[in-house]
Amino acid sequence: MKCKTPSFGSRGRAQTYFSPLGFDNLVDLDQSMEQATATSEDQHAKPTLRIARPGWIVTAAACLVFLLSIASPPRLMDDVDAVQAQAARNMLASGDWVTARLDGVAYLEKAPLNYWMMAVAYRIFGVHDWSARLPHAIAVVLLCWLTYRFGRWAFDETVGLYAGIALSTCVGLFLFTRILIPDAVLTLSITGAVWAWLRLLEPDEQHPLRWSFLLGCCLGVGLLLKGLIAAVFPVMAGLAYMALTRSLFSWMAWRRLHLVQTILVTLAIAVPWYVLATLRNPPYFAFSLHSGPGEYRGFFWFYFFNEHLLRFLGLRYPRDYDTVPRFWFWVLNLVWIFPWSFYLLLAPTLDSKPTSRAGRTRLMAVCWIGVVMLFFTFSTTQEYYSMPIYPALALLVGSVLSRGGRWVRAGTYFLLATCAILFAVLAVVLVSVWRVPVHGDIYQALTQHPEAYTLSLGHIRDLTLNAFAYLKLPLGLAALAFGGCALALAVWRNDVQRTVLAVAVSMIVFLQAARIALVRFDSYLGSYPLAERLLMSPPGQLIEADSYYAFSSVFFYTNRTALLLNGRNNNLEYGSYAPGAPDVFIDDRKFASLWTAAPRCYLLAYGADMPHLEELVGQANLRVVAANAGNYLLTNRPLP
């Protein structure tokens, strides 16, 4: 039996509306329409979009962008991408679902849910790069769908559809889900928590215990994804919202949150792992604020003090990361939400007064954005750290688009001009390199800027004009996408619905072009060719001439461990000081001894390390098995 809720407009008559998807999705249409006519930003609103199954449209768009992108190639990249995948595989193989390990060394800096998701996918589908990506792709599709449902509840079907489409097709969400980091899943948990908080504060919420349970689940899951910030962000956003709506000291508002149930659910989900991780990685408690080499104080200190407090203060050791300048951290969000940025700039014209559900949601979105951005303004940042605000930005974009009017048309004109310029630039580049011959790998046409690689987008600086000769197909598709978008906007500039459709289709094409471009960079960003050659070679001891991260894709695709030459640094350094840690770190003297005495060894090395290695064992003793993008797989004995 479907549930129903009476709504009373200002004229005093009750009307009942039924949700086709169940009682959790009731929208008081009579009240929302009356509120729309009472607010200035909705005076020029168009009629509600009438389109069949908009939720399926959002889901389809997200699937076309993200589920299609799990295919291999491109293969897993070196560094974080393959590290996360291999840590999950090690968990599955060892049966230890508490402590992640790399090369046998405890890897304590990350919460486990990201590894658990991939390990479950391995169990079901086998260990593949695409199965490692599958849980994240599904989570992103769910995030886009959830944003649609959030917008539908808070505003109407039109806003929900526009918000879901905007999130599905923006540049940032695609770009930062190319690596197996948990931030997209974290964004899903934060979005669910914020929506649950807002619904619990609604006086007419019919199912508060369910939303309290959902709030606790989202907070608990978030704590298992990326630690305390998963709870800090939605809680601080909720408190800021309550302060602005003058309900922070309202006993009734706090009662609606059902805090006891919420906290109990959160603790039931998150605490068991934290307790087990502390017990299995003693000492149990330490409270020092000093972090340095050679120090081991167990899981509790490392995770909560070093990885949370000291990282926030910029005092974490090892400092294996850089930070984006604060100005660019804020401004680049316009790039990450592109092509919807021009509409986002109109968000300040929206009414955020808490006199209607729409106004309250916009106010919560502002609090949500403000908390995340201000937090990282005072901490170290990477480009993707602002990902948790993308759904809030998408909801504001959806609100702007649904309003219509001359300002939205102005945004469309700016977007049209931008697409035309991008088309012209891409066309010129394509024509310039059309007859440029390509030989070998794209690596030969790139420059290198290793000082920039501590940032997520550091490799962008490596591009040269000649490198685009290797990217003719993705260049052509990108030019087609932006040229087609510019043409469609010129024809449909006064029709918001068709504008959204044109932009969405163009971005799906463009993002798939970007995926094809990543295939061209496959051997440059990863080391699969070296792994493939190692698998075909006779058995031998594997050594890596750097930290574990340097050739992590080799470890994933071969499922091998290695000795690490001068590699006791970065993320494995802390775990290497734990009692009973495996002795996998060697110095120059030990390496030279192994290389000259062992029956067969293999060495993974950067080209820049070759002069030093030649000094240690002699050039004649470094036999090249395979080369890839200036890096080498070497052996000390002739191959048969």
DSSP 126-159: -S-HHHHHHHHHHHHHHHHHHHHHHHHHHT-HHH
* 44 CB-side CA count, 13 A: 12
Angle (CA) 456 460 466, round 5°: 160
Q: Look at the alpha carbons of 517, 519, 555, 95 in this order and tell me if their dihedral is positive or negative.
A: positive
DSSP 305: I
Closest to 602 in 3D by CA, of 629, 576, 621: 621
Mean pLDDT along residues 362-368? 98
Residue 3, pLDDT above cutoff 60: no
d(CA 109, CA 607): 30
Let me know: does 316 contact 377? Beta carbons within 8 Å: no
d(CA 525, CA 517): 12
Residue that terminates a domain, selected from 493, 523, 553? 523
Query: Which pLDDT band holds residue 449 (cuts at 50, 70, 90)?
Result: confident
Residue 129, pLDDT above cutoff 70: yes
Count CB atoms within 10 A of the CB of residue 569: 17
d(CA 462, CA 447): 5
Q: Are residues 586 and 502 in the same domain?
A: no
Domain assignment present for 313: no
Q: Which of 2-6, 101-105, 521-525 has the highest mean pLDDT?
A: 101-105
Let me know: does 379 contact 314? Beta carbons within 8 Å: yes
d(CA 53, CA 337): 25
Domain assignment present for 179: yes
Q: Are residues 246 and 152 in the same domain?
A: yes
What's the pLDDT score for residue 324? 86
Which burial class, exposed, middle or buried, applies to 124 when counting CB atoms under 10 A from its CB (0-12, 13-18, 19+)?
Answer: exposed
Query: Which pLDDT band holds residue 2 (cuts at 50, 70, 90)?
Result: very low
Residue that terminates a domain, selected from 341, 372, 402? 402
Let me know: does 582 contact 103? Beta carbons within 8 Å: yes
* Alpha-carbon distances, residue 240 vs 197, 199, 243, 245, 457 (angstroms): 12, 16, 5, 9, 32
Domain assignment present for 318: no
Least confident of 72-86, 227-241, 309-323, 622-636: 309-323
d(CA 546, CA 485): 46
**Tokens at residue 209, please?**
């215990």
- Phi and psi torsions of 370, nearest 5°: -60, -45
Helices (H), 572-623: 573-576, 588-597, 610-617
Rg of the chain over all Cα atoms, to the nearest angstrom: 27
d(CA 497, CA 490): 14
d(CA 311, CA 314): 5
Tell me the average pLDDT of the chain: 90
Q: Are residues 158 and 212 in the same domain?
A: yes
Q: Is 378 helix (H, G, I), strand (E, B) or coil?
A: coil
- Phi and psi torsions of 451, nearest 5°: -65, -20
DSSP 604: E
Domain assignment present for 583: yes
Q: Are residues 398 and 411 in the same domain?
A: no
Residue 35, pLDDT above cutoff 50: no
Beta pairing partners, 635: 602, 623
Mean pLDDT along residues 22-51? 41
Closest to 165 in 3D by CA, of 54, 4, 327: 54
Mean pLDDT along residues 535-540? 96
Residue 42, pLDDT above cutoff 90: no
What's the pLDDT score for residue 300? 96
Specify the amino acid at residue 63. Answer: C
Cα 66 from chain centroid (whole Å): 12
Residue 589, pLDDT above cutoff 90: yes
DSSP 592: H
Q: Are residues 180 and 221 in the same domain?
A: yes
Residue 375, pLDDT above cutoff 60: yes
Q: Are residues 333 and 420 in the same domain?
A: no
Q: Tell which wins on pLDDT, 236 or 465.
A: 236
For the chain, helix, strand, coil in percent to 5 are 65, 5, 30
With a pLDDT cut of 70, the percent of the chain lying above it is: 91
Beta pairing partners, 562: none
Residue 40, pLDDT above cutoff 80: no
Mean pLDDT along residues 74-83? 95
Q: Are residues 516 and 566 in the same domain?
A: no
Domain assignment present for 62: no
- What are the tens digits of pLDDT across the range 267-306? 999 999 999 999 999 999 899 888 889 899 999 999 999 9
Q: Are residues 533 and 588 in the same domain?
A: yes
Q: Contacts by 235-238 with C-beta closer than 8 Å and gap 24+?
A: 236/371, 236/375, 237/194, 237/197, 237/364, 237/367, 237/368, 237/370, 237/371, 237/372, 238/194, 238/197, 238/198, 238/364, 238/367
Q: Are residues 228 and 361 in the same domain?
A: yes
State the residue range of the domain holding 15: 1-31
Q: Going by DSSP bridges, is the β-strand pair 541-544/105-106 parallel, antiparallel, or unpaired?
A: unpaired
Which burial class, exposed, middle or buried, applies to 23 when counting CB atoms under 10 A from its CB (0-12, 13-18, 19+)?
Answer: middle
Least confident of 2-16, 207-221, 562-576: 2-16
Least confident of 247-251, 255-259, 389-393, 441-445: 441-445
What's the pLDDT score for residue 165? 98
Mean pLDDT along residues 109-123? 97
Mean pLDDT along residues 547-563? 96
Greatest pairwise CA separation for the chain in angstroms = 93
Count CB atoms within 10 A of the CB of residue 15: 13
- What are the tens digits of pLDDT across the range 454-465? 666 677 778 888
Beta pairing partners, 632: 605, 627
Number of domains in the chain: 4
**Tokens at residue 191, please?**
């979005």
What's the pLDDT score for residue 58? 97
Q: Are residues 612 and 595 in the same domain?
A: yes
Residue 243, pLDDT above cutoff 50: yes
Domain assignment present for 93: no
Q: Are residues 610 and 464 in the same domain?
A: no
Q: Going by DSSP bridges, is the β-strand pair 631-635/601-606 parallel, antiparallel, or unpaired?
A: antiparallel
Burial 444-453, CB ≥16 within 10 A → b, else e: ebbebeeeee
Q: Are residues 378 and 425 in the same domain?
A: no
With a pLDDT cut of 90, the percent of the chain lying above it is: 80
Domain assignment present for 78: no
DSSP 600: -
Whole-prediction pTM: 0.90
Q: Which residues contact 442 (CB under 8 A, 6 or more apart)?
A: 467, 470, 471, 520, 521, 523, 524
**Tokens at residue 234, please?**
């939605």
Residue that terminates a domain, selected from 523, 539, 570? 523
Closest to 345 in 3D by CA, of 396, 293, 295, 384: 396
Domain assignment present for 54: no
